[in-house]
């Protein structure tokens, strides 16, 4: 017996592709990984050292459900330092990955049958977090005209009676595009006027190239922010994220976290205290520059091969390309490219129902040399 809701939880197709890539690799094939949604860099040394120290010092027990006070305070101070916003640490809730925060926020806000609006293409798990609480994900097709993002105008047009929340991500996965400060202000106004709640996923916030970084907290306190140590701090496997909640929702979030998580991983929380030190900050800054260099190489290289990337991605580590001039079936293309040339990319199908067969995502989470080799192999594959 299995619950009905499981019928609407789709697999991550890229995982199948990754499994096949790994199998080919163990059979001795050389594989260029451009499918993986996590940094290739190891966790910065000072964080690893702090994690080891935490274990030696016996930090292996549960912590308060929403995190150790030192880490909540450190996250709060970082917002002050970077963006000049005053943030009471009591509003910072530390979670098992931002995935934990997403589970909390949907559970707190959404009644069965209520809807949450989000962009298509978008991070696939968001739809499933809504379904998990018997909510209804309303995915709205977006394209290059709006930088693959929802706008205030689209939200007003698509609003429905049962809409409870709107979720946006800036920078976005899979498109790497941003929402500008002025537009986000308008988005908040439109959602707020209709009695909904805005949720902003800022998990790729540290990874912005060129544009002036900001946080939605500069606009208002009346929203949920989702963030994580996974991407900018290279800590995907430590499972540590956070949420910033409006004051009136803190108690509910705490109560729920107590029940479903008990706490985020304790050694990871102590390790993350080292994320805000000067040494780590300089390491992650250098990495951000390396990602920018990779984007600057890969974007024109892929365009040169016939992939259409009409909006310059300004963040994260993804390029989302329209491949209609090359193939009418991105899923088959991704699989054939892997078999023939050993290059792994993610087919559009993972990111929604908006022309998935015309899109693929490239992750520049591998070295410049490997990217160049990948581009050469893709060129050879297309020329066949
Ligand atoms: C947009 C977005 N949000 C959330 C997550 C979840 O990350 P984590 O649970 O590691 O913090 C991801 C991971 O790829 C993501 O791309």
Q: Is the CB of 173 under 6 A from ligand 1?
A: yes
User: Quick one: CA dihedral 130, 132, 134, 140, positive or negative?
Assistant: positive
What confidence score (pLDDT) does residue 142 get? 98
The atom number, within ligand 1, closest to the CA of 239 reads: 10
Distance CA 264, CA 240 (A): 7
Q: How much distance in Å is there from the Cα of 241 to the middle of ligand 1?
A: 9
Q: How much distance in Å is there from the Cα of 28 to the middle of ligand 1?
A: 31
Q: How much distance in Å is there from the Cα of 325 to the middle of ligand 1?
A: 31
Distance CA 126, CA 58 (A): 35
Distance CA 62, CA 79 (A): 26
For a pocket test of ligand 1, which of 231, 268, 275, 365 has the largest count of ligand atoms closer than 8 A to its C-beta?
Answer: 231
Buried b (16+ CB within 10 A) or exposed e, 105-125: bbbbbbeeebbbbbbbbbbbb
φ/ψ of residue 91, rounded to 5: -90, -5
Q: How much distance in Å is there from the Cα of 382 to the middle of ligand 1?
A: 32
Distances (CA, A) of 267 to 167, 281, 343: 31, 20, 36
Q: Is the CB of 36 under 6 A from ligand 1?
A: no
Q: Is the CB of 225 under 6 A from ligand 1?
A: no
Distance CA 116, CA 97 (A): 21
Distance CA 129, CA 131 (A): 6
- pLDDT per residue, tens digit, the chain (384 aa), is 899 888 888 888 888 889 999 999 999 999 999 998 999 999 999 999 999 999 999 999 999 999 999 999 999 999 999 999 999 999 999 999 999 999 999 999 999 999 999 999 999 999 999 999 999 999 999 999 999 999 999 999 999 999 999 999 999 999 999 999 999 999 999 999 999 999 999 999 999 998 888 999 999 999 999 999 999 999 999 999 999 999 999 999 999 999 999 999 999 999 999 999 999 999 999 999 999 999 999 999 999 999 999 999 999 999 999 999 999 999 999 999 999 999 999 999 999 999 999 999 999 999 999 999 999 999 999 998
Name the burial class of residue 38, with classes exposed (0-12), middle (13-18) and buried (19+) by CB atoms within 10 angstroms of its CB. Answer: middle
For a pocket test of ligand 1, which of 203, 242, 264 has the largest count of ligand atoms closer than 8 A to its C-beta?
Answer: 203
Q: Which two tokens stand for residue 110?
A: 């959404």
Distance CA 157, CA 160 (A): 9
For a pocket test of ligand 1, which of 35, 99, 176, 242 has the largest count of ligand atoms closer than 8 A to its C-beta?
Answer: 99
Q: How many residues does the chain have?
A: 384
Taking CA atoms only, the protein residue closest to ligand 1 atom 14 is 37
User: 351 with 120: CB under 8 angstroms?
Assistant: yes
User: 142 with 311: CB under 8 angstroms?
Assistant: no
- Nearest in space to 171 (alpha carbons), one of 132, 130, 134, 213: 213
What confidence score (pLDDT) does residue 12 get? 82
For a pocket test of ligand 1, which of 15, 37, 95, 98 has the largest count of ligand atoms closer than 8 A to its C-beta?
Answer: 98
The atom number, within ligand 1, closest to the CA of 98 reads: 11
Distance CA 42, CA 19 (A): 21
Distance CA 216, CA 192 (A): 14
Taking CA atoms only, the protein residue closest to ligand 1 atom 13 is 37
Distance CA 205, CA 184 (A): 14
The atom number, within ligand 1, closest to the CA of 204 reads: 1
Q: Which two tokens stand for residue 186?
A: 């308008």
Provide the 8-state DSSP code for 317.
T
Q: Is the CB of 228 under 6 A from ligand 1?
A: yes
Distance CA 206, CA 197 (A): 24
Q: Is the CB of 37 under 6 A from ligand 1?
A: yes
Q: Is the CB of 227 under 6 A from ligand 1?
A: no
Q: Which two tokens stand for residue 107?
A: 């559970």
Q: How much distance in Å is there from the Cα of 190 to the middle of ligand 1?
A: 26
- The crossing angle, in degrees rounded to 10, of helices 368-383 and 330-341 is 110
Q: Is the CB of 232 under 6 A from ligand 1?
A: no
Q: Is the CB of 100 under 6 A from ligand 1?
A: no
Distance CA 255, CA 322 (A): 44
User: 75 with 58: CB under 8 angstroms?
Assistant: no
Q: Is the CB of 203 under 6 A from ligand 1?
A: yes
Q: Which two tokens stand for residue 91?
A: 């509003």
Distance CA 85, CA 101 (A): 21
Indicate the helix (H) or strand (E) that contains 105: helix 97-109
What confidence score (pLDDT) does residue 15 get? 86
């Amino acid at each position: 017996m299995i619950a009905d809701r499981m019928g609407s939880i789709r697999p991550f197709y890229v995982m199948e592709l990754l499994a096949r890539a790994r199998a080919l690799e163990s059979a001795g094939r050389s594989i260029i990984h451009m499918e993986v949604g996590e940094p290739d860099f190891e966790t910065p040394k000072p964080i690893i050292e702090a994690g080891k120290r935490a274990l030696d010092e016996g930090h292996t027990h549960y912590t308060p459900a929403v995190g150790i006070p030192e880490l909540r305070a450190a996250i709060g101070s970082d917002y002050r330092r970077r963006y000049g916003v005053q943030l009471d640490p009591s509003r910072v809730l530390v979670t098992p990955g931002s995935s934990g925060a997403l589970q909390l926020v949907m559970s707190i806000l959404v009644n069965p049958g209520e809807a949450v609006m989000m962009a298509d293409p978008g991070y696939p798990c968001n739809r499933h977090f809504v379904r998990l609480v018997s909510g209804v994900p309303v995915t709205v097709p977006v394209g290059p005209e709006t930088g693959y993002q929802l706008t205030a105008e689209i939200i007003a047009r698509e609003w429905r009676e049962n809409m409870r929340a709107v979720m946006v991500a800036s920078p976005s996965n899979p498109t790497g595009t941003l929402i500008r400060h002025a537009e986000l202000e308008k988005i908040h106004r439109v959602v707020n006027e209709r009695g909904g709640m805005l949720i902003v996923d800022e998990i790729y916030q540290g990874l912005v190239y060129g544009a002036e970084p900001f946080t939605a907290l500069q606009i208002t306190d009346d929203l949920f922010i989702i963030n994580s140590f996974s991407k900018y701090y290279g800590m995907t496997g430590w499972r540590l994220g956070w949420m910033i909640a409006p004051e009136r929702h803190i108690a509910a979030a705490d109560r729920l976290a107590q029940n479903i998580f008990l706490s985020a991983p304790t050694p990871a929380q102590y390790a993350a205290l080292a994320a805000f030190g000067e040494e780590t900050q300089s390491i992650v800054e250098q990495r951000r520059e390396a990602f920018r260099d990779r984007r600057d190489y890969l974007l024109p290289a892929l365009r040169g091969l016939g992939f259409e990337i009409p909006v310059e991605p300004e963040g994260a580590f993804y390029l989302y390309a329209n491949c209609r001039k090359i193939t009418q079936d991105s899923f088959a293309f991704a699989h054939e490219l892997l078999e023939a040339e050993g290059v792994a990319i993610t087919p559009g199908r993972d990111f929604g129902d908006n022309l998935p067969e015309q899109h693929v995502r490239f992750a520049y989470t591998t070295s410049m040399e490997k990217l160049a080799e990948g581009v050469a192999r893709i060129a050879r594959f297309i020329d066949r």
